[in-house]
Amino acid sequence: GQQLNQSPQSMFIQEGEDVSMNCTSSSIFNTWLWYKQDPGEGPVLLIALYKAGELTSNGRLTAQFGITRKDSFLNISASIPSDVGIYFCAGQQTSGSRLTFGEGTQLTVNP
């Protein structure tokens, strides 16, 4: 099935560093979402973006909805060990419709 192109696939960083990851698509999405998934658990919603160009923050996390509606970015500032996990972007074309997910970015934070 269709998936979003998410990069990088994995990141190894030191505690305190900033992190950036992005997601691109050949299709337009009207909602972009970022989830975090810990091993053996379901994805947990971090940030939801509903408008092209929108920049939204949630604590140390900041995400942007690309102007073209075909991409989104997630930044994590001053990383801490509990940021470890897999981050997924997801796009939604119409309200209430299915989510299309990226392949995930595995983040490792070294203390």
Partner 1 sequence: DAGVTQSPTHLIKTRGQQVTLRCSPKSGHDTVSWYQQALGQGPQFIFQYYEEEERQRGNFPDRFSGHQFPNYSSELNVNALLLGDSALYLCASSVRPAGETQYFGPGTRLLVL
CA 49 from chain centre, in angstroms, equals 11
d(CA 97, CA 99): 7
Query: Of these, 5, 97, 108, 110, which contacts partner 1 (CB under 8 A)?
Result: 97
Q: Which residues 54-83 are close enough to bind partner 1 by CB under 8 A?
A: none
Q: Which residues 10-39 are close enough to bind partner 1 by CB under 8 A?
A: 31, 33, 35
Helix, coil or strand: residue 81 = helix
Residues near partner 1 (CB under 8 A) are 1, 3-4, 6, 31, 33, 35, 40-45, 48, 88, 90, 92, 94-104
